Structure 1
Amino acid sequence: MTENNSNSAESKYQNPLIQRYASNEMATLWGTTRRFQTWRQLWVALAETEQELGIEITDQQLEQLRAFQNNLNLDVAKEYERIRRHDVMAHVEAYGDQCPEAKKIIHLGATSCFITDNADVILIRDALQLVAQRLAATIDAMATFAQQYRDLPCLGFTHLQPAQPTTVGKRCCLWAYDLILDLQEVEHRLATLSARSAKGTTGTQASFLQLFAGDHDKVRQLERRIAEKMGFDKTYAVTGQTYPRKVDAMLLDALSGVGQSLHKIATDVRLLANRKEIEEPIEKNQIGSSAMPYKRNPMRSERICALTRFVISLQSSPAMTAATQWMERTLDDSANRRLVIPQAFLAIDASLVLMQNIASGFVVYPKTVEHNLAKELPYMETENIMMRAVEAGGDRQDLHERIRVHSREVAQRVNAEGKPNDMIERLKNDSAFSAVEFETEINPLDFVGRAPEQVDDFIEDQVKPIRQRYSNSESLSVEVHV
């Protein structure tokens, strides 16, 4: 019997968001290397700014800090953390081992949350920008599809029951518009995200005021300049030890909103695949079932529903954290945030990659769409017939009742007996409709209203500005993982 190595990476749980689902860009952004390099970036910014404002820090000390900013000694930091039981101080000591001349000025005047919270808002900012780019790309793909099928009539549904026809393109615009509303919310979160900067242990900046011998203006300059070095033009107005945890709750509201939209879209795709009208792209060698080789399961859409359901479920954690932060801060936020924030981003990223892939390769079966609509179209025609009969002098309520009775009989004939829909023939033979001139053929486009034109207007008014706004965005990977 082979002995298992319990210390090997393969023997321990691996997060499937990293192993199977999220893009390399998002996984790297939330990775250990990026986080701790950001910590060191903040220590450099702090020391640089303190020197600029008159604190005795030498150029040689700054040069050492910069030299090792991206050269991490993570094994050393890990050992220090085992001893100290404090992650920030472990990294201070590990950084100091590499920079002996600068060791005494690393983290000067700062609290742990100077590092952790400022690093978090940098990572959140970059992750939100990535989500925004993926949303824009998905909206673009959906708009292209909507334009292509702007005037293909299809059966509409309310209560998941046949209703007035729409078009395939118009339905896709409904999907895209939800994502546009999400993009607006993500962009709003980006616009309002701020640096914590140098706020001190309980947010009073007492340590920095002491460092600058009571010079309030220099403390203000320190806060502003560090924020600028972080790439922010503003800081949170007041804080306790951390930036307001309300911000995390609002962040997860936005990510949950994206998840809600994607879940709805993916569910619609699954329902349409069941009707054989629209399918997600199927790869040549893809297997749908281990037992049933003929199956074409909507695997991507199902995965989107699974991942976004996870994100939606995460929404309550930051809300509870914000609600239970006592006074200036309690540490019960830390472990929760380490789990919730990165994983919410990873799952949304994976879902957007999948949705962009689906939207870029929708498979439409126009004949099936036409066939499914034709079965219900005689019912839709009854509204026009009733209006013409009223114009000819008929009683609207009597005509409505006659159509209701006929439609029930037709439903029994179609659903229970499998016979054709003869609704129009029944009305032709009903004396109450004798004054109506019946059309020789029902044209589905007569029932879709302004749907094709709404697609055109939507793309011009809503999608075009997004395409322009994100035209220079760097290309992101869209590889669908296992």
Structure 2
Amino acid sequence: MVLMAHDLSSLSPAIALTPLDGRYRSVVAPLVDSLSEAALNRARIHVEVEWLIHLTTHEVLPGAPTFSDAEIAYLRQIIEDFGAEEIADLAEIEAETRHDVKAVEYFLKRRLAAAPDALGEDTVLPRVGEIVHIFCTSEDINNLAYALIIKDAVTCTWLPAAHRLVTDIADLAHEARSVPMLARTHGQPATPVTLGKELAVTAYRLTRQLRRIASAEYLGKINGATGTYGAHAISVPEADWPTIARAFVEHLGLTFTPLTTQIEAHDWQAELYADIARFNRIAHNFATDVWTYISLGYFRQNLAAQGSTGSSTMPHKVNPIRFENAEANMEISCALLDALAATLVTSRLQRDLTDSTTQRNVAPAFGHSLLAIDNMTRGLAGLDVDPEPMAADLDGAWEVLGEAVQQAMRAAAIAGATGMEDPYERLKELTRGRRVDAQAMREFISSLGMPADVEARLAALTPATYTGYADRLVGELDSLVPPLAELTARTE
């Protein structure tokens, strides 16, 4: 059945297939510079260029020329200048080669051939084409390129956005550190807390994941077709190839993998994606809790800050769409990250190409997480704490003081007071299945015959003041949430 006369797939400019490249493009656009196909190709060229420089600078290959500073600058400028024209050139070459890494090799050789136009006829660059990609299999280039672009995506885009979200939660925790709130366990009234303490718990949990993610290792190898340096050793036997390879990988800012098959095993990716998925899930849990607090009236939504119309038919409503959108995108991101982690750690014998297709979906996995983080950050900015509904809920739940009375009776009994028997059962008779108001609770306390100081302390207690060290505990965040610079420094 034809729904419309026009074939939308043929329109120009091209219409985005996915919401990340359409509706939400502005939010996830920073990832294009790290995780797009063009960014991957730029990273491949970077690896090839640096390998060429590395081999010649360290005089690994007998007879190979040494490059001048101007020639090295020319080579590195190829990466600096990589833009629309270069992307088009590379696409044209790949259309002929039908091989993405081979296209990168030919692209670089063309730039070497063109070097005299910039450096003069005396440059040696046109004569070193055979050094390009020497001793490399495609995976030598790909594994390093992927490590570089994923590291860049985490360090430059995802981690700053995630850190901002955690910082905003921590800031709100400090603002609301003394605002008492009725806690709920199993959905039922429980020992009171403060709103700030509950927010601080989330900030603490997310911070632990940020530290793990910031400490991630990005591994790489460059050891040939089956990980033995076979071609290297037979061609240039006097060179210490494992040492040369290690130095090169570390020069790129990556961690060297000494033992591989044809592929770098991608275990580090699985570890990273598991940590990011765990961050997502904690944030997802937070989004559902905030949604609930909004429904209870504990937060008011600032319509102007939210930037939304609310319900299309019920003008009184402001829907918590930022948090609902975040939930959905965290779920999609986690599904992709889980699939990536499960798939990438396996390969048939030396090599199969399942990882090639799989790794091309790293971008949407990060994109949906970044979109969720952005929605939650904007959602938080549009919330105002409303203490009044919290105070009303607390004043309607005096039964939650049953825990305090019971434990005080036990402590008094241990200290030698008489008549403190069966505290749990006595409080259960008073409180279970019924609402208890202030008068009933205070009358019960006065009937217990407790020591005067204990009775006075309990008689002065209210649900709103029964928050223990909640206020003080929020202060733990001061030493727990690291500055962004500290986190990003760990990835260097």
Could you say whether these structures have the same fold, taking a TM-score greater than 0.5 normalized by the shorter chain as the test?
yes
Residue 256 (structure 1) shift: 0.4
1:342 alignment partner in structure 2:
363
What does 1:39-438 correspond to in 2, within 5 Å?
39-52=44-57, 53-55=59-61, 56-57=64-65, 59=67, 65-69=75-79, 70-71=81-82, 73-100=86-113, 101=126, 102-130=128-156, 131-189=158-216, 192-196=217-221, 198-211=222-235, 213-217=236-240, 219-232=241-254, 234-279=255-300, 281-283=302-304, 286-339=308-361, 341-376=362-397, 378-386=398-406, 391=412, 393-394=418-419, 396-397=421-422, 400-408=424-432, 410-411=434-435, 421-422=436-437, 424-425=439-440, 428=443, 433=448
1:34 alignment partner in structure 2:
39
Aligned mate of 2:19, from 16, 35, 41: 16
CA distance in 2: counterparts of 1:268 and 1:17, whole angstroms: 26
CA distance in 1: counterparts of 2:228 and 2:86, whole angstroms: 33
CA distance in 1: counterparts of 2:394 and 2:170, whole angstroms: 23
2:170–2:200 CA contact under 8 A, matched in 1: yes
CA distance in 2: counterparts of 1:329 and 1:385, whole angstroms: 67
CA distance in 1: counterparts of 2:407 and 2:206, whole angstroms: 38
2:287–2:323 CA contact under 8 A, matched in 1: yes
CA distance in 1: counterparts of 2:445 and 2:141, whole angstroms: 81
Distance 1:115 1:389, change over 3 A: closer
Letter in 2 for 1:194: L
Residue 221 (structure 1) shift: 4.4
Q: Normalized against structure 2, the TM-score is what?
A: 0.82
Letter in 2 for 1:215: E
CA distance in 2: counterparts of 1:388 and 1:320, whole angstroms: 52
Distance 1:28 1:396, change over 3 A: farther
CA distance in 2: counterparts of 1:49 and 1:194, whole angstroms: 19
2:219–2:268 CA contact under 8 A, matched in 1: no
Instruction: In structure 1, list runs of 5 or more residues that go unmatched.
Output: 412-420, 474-482
2:405–2:445 CA contact under 8 A, matched in 1: no
CA distance in 2: counterparts of 1:97 and 1:120, whole angstroms: 24
Deviation string, structure 1 residues 188-236 (Cα, Å, up to 9, x no partner): 21xx32332x21111112222234x21242x23431342243123x411
What secondary structure is seen at the aligned counterpart in 2 of 1:156?
strand
CA distance in 2: counterparts of 1:63 and 1:386, whole angstroms: 76
CA distance in 1: counterparts of 2:246 and 2:433, whole angstroms: 76
2:486 alignment partner in structure 1:
469
2:219–2:256 CA contact under 8 A, matched in 1: yes
CA distance in 1: counterparts of 2:351 and 2:293, whole angstroms: 49
Distance 1:182 1:444, change over 3 A: same
Aligned mate of 2:469, from 426, 434, 450: 450
CA distance in 2: counterparts of 1:324 and 1:146, whole angstroms: 43
Letter in 2 for 1:447: Y
Deviation string, structure 1 residues 336-385 (Cα, Å, up to 9, x no partner): 1211x222222222222333334445310011111122111x10223344
Letter in 2 for 1:264: N
CA distance in 1: counterparts of 2:246 and 2:446, whole angstroms: 83
Q: Which moved more, 1:101-110 or 1:175-184?
A: 101-110
2:179–2:194 CA contact under 8 A, matched in 1: yes
Instruction: In structure 2, list runs of 5 or more residues that go unmatched.
Output: 114-125
Letter in 2 for 1:459: L
1:279–1:298 CA contact under 8 A, matched in 2: no
Distance 1:248 1:384, change over 3 A: closer
Q: Normalized against structure 1, the TM-score is what?
A: 0.84
Distance 1:226 1:299, change over 3 A: same
Residue 66 (structure 1) shift: 3.8
Deviation string, structure 1 residues 61-99 (Cα, Å, up to 9, x no partner): 766644533345333332333333211112322333343
CA distance in 2: counterparts of 1:471 and 1:188, whole angstroms: 9
1:156–1:164 CA contact under 8 A, matched in 2: yes
Letter in 2 for 1:109: F
What secondary structure is seen at the aligned counterpart in 1 of 2:55?
helix
CA distance in 1: counterparts of 2:366 and 2:408, whole angstroms: 56
Distance 1:382 1:292, change over 3 A: same
Letter in 1 for 2:193: T
Q: Give the count of matched residue pairs.
A: 453
Residue 10 (structure 1) shift: 5.9
Residue 253 (structure 1) shift: 0.4
CA distance in 1: counterparts of 2:219 and 2:345, whole angstroms: 21
Q: CA RMSD in A?
A: 3.1
Identity of aligned residues (%): 23
Residue 429 (structure 1) shift: 7.3
2:20–2:28 CA contact under 8 A, matched in 1: no
2:206–2:282 CA contact under 8 A, matched in 1: yes
Deviation string, structure 1 residues 415-436 (Cα, Å, up to 9, x no partner): xxxxxx5474277379964779
CA distance in 2: counterparts of 1:303 and 1:221, whole angstroms: 49
CA distance in 1: counterparts of 2:95 and 2:181, whole angstroms: 63
CA distance in 2: counterparts of 1:409 and 1:261, whole angstroms: 33
Letter in 2 for 1:135: A
Q: Which moved more, 1:95-104 or 1:122-131?
A: 95-104
CA distance in 1: counterparts of 2:273 and 2:433, whole angstroms: 51
